[in-house]
Amino acid sequence: MGTFLFDKIIFGPVISRRLGVSLGINLLPVDAKVCSFDCIYCECGWTPGKYDKKVMLPTRDEVKLRLKEKLKEMVANHQLPDVITFAGNGEPTMHPEFSGIIDDTLELRSQFAPDARIAVLSNATMLHKEEIVRALCKVDDNIQKLDSAFEETIRLIDNPRGRFNLGKVVDQLQSFNGKVIIQTMFLRGSWKGVEFDNTTDWEVDAWLELVKKIAPSQVMIYTIARDTPAETLQKVALSDLERIAGKIRNEGIEVQVSE
């Protein structure tokens, strides 16, 4: 399998399908995935059930130092990022110092790359924590995952670890009052003998009702572009994504499509 882990705290810049020239920040270990989901399509592979050794997260000071060094280098090379993106080997909002790291990043962005946006790619499982919500409200692109309107589909393709309640997650997403971007992975295939396809009208129409309730500033829809840990998944055609995008636009919601 061709899945991979990010081996640095600061990685890139890379060309993101959705965000442009993106400088990545990985708040998780550089040698292990740490996540509250175990998505069957994750480019970082499976989330371990247990670890052979203690996992080490980068400290707030270490993240700030590495980001400052990289931004100074990019300024010297006249190559500033379009966006500074929290992504990496799992769920960034699980880091215990996430809120403070966001404040540091805002400070460094203002100092070195004032035109860059700050984005967080999250699976929306930490929104019950007030300090996480406050931090997310400070960034430019608060991008939260919603892969289905049906909890059984989410449990199949996203495989939440621990407690998960879709209704509560939707309420939490709605509480951003529009300062949120919804991202959704569309795919089909099978897993553990169960066939699934979240591009059907039944799936999409129910999902769209939740999107309308959340009223995000934008929706990002995409499909598989890299190797996945499960080998029984199928990439969705651009025509299918455009069909779904049309339904979103008909509701007056901005949508970005990435094949």
pLDDT per residue as tens digits for the range 142-151: 999 999 999 9
pLDDT at 17 over 80: no
Whether 21 and 83 have beta carbons less than 8 Å apart is answered as yes
Q: How confident is the model at residue 146, as a pLDDT?
A: 98
Determine the topology of domain 10-258 in CATH: TIM Barrel (3.20.20)
Q: How confident is the model at residue 65, as a pLDDT?
A: 98
* Domain limits, the chain: 10-258
pLDDT at 1 over 60: no
pLDDT at 196 over 80: yes
pLDDT at 203 over 60: yes
Over residues 45-94, the pLDDT tens digits come to 999 888 777 889 999 999 999 999 999 999 999 999 999 999 999 999 99
Cis-peptide into 216, omega within 30 deg: no
Q: How confident is the model at residue 35, as a pLDDT?
A: 97
Report d(CA 43, CA 200) in Å as an integer. 24
Report d(CA 134, CA 127) in Å as an integer. 10
Tokens of 70: 């990289």
Q: How confident is the model at residue 223, as a pLDDT?
A: 96
pLDDT at 227 over 80: yes
What would the mean pLDDT of 200-226 be, rounded to a whole number?
Answer: 97
pTM, 2 dp:
0.95
Q: How confident is the model at residue 5, as a pLDDT?
A: 85
What's the count of helices (H) and strands (E) in the chain, helices before strands?
7, 11
Sign of CA dihedral 172, 42, 49, 89: negative
Angle at CA of residue 230, ends 225 and 233, nearest 5°: 55
Report d(CA 143, CA 185) in Å as an integer. 13
At residue 131 the predicted structure's pLDDT band, cuts being 50, 70 and 90, is: very high
pLDDT at 222 over 90: yes
φ, ψ (nearest 5 deg) of residue 117: -90, 160
What would the mean pLDDT of 146-171 be, rounded to a whole number?
Answer: 96
Q: How confident is the model at residue 21, as a pLDDT?
A: 87
What would the mean pLDDT of 131-147 be, rounded to a whole number?
Answer: 98
Answer with the residue of higher pLDDT: 258 or 122: 122
User: What percentage of the chain reaches a pLDDT higher than 90?
Assistant: 86
pLDDT at 42 over 80: yes
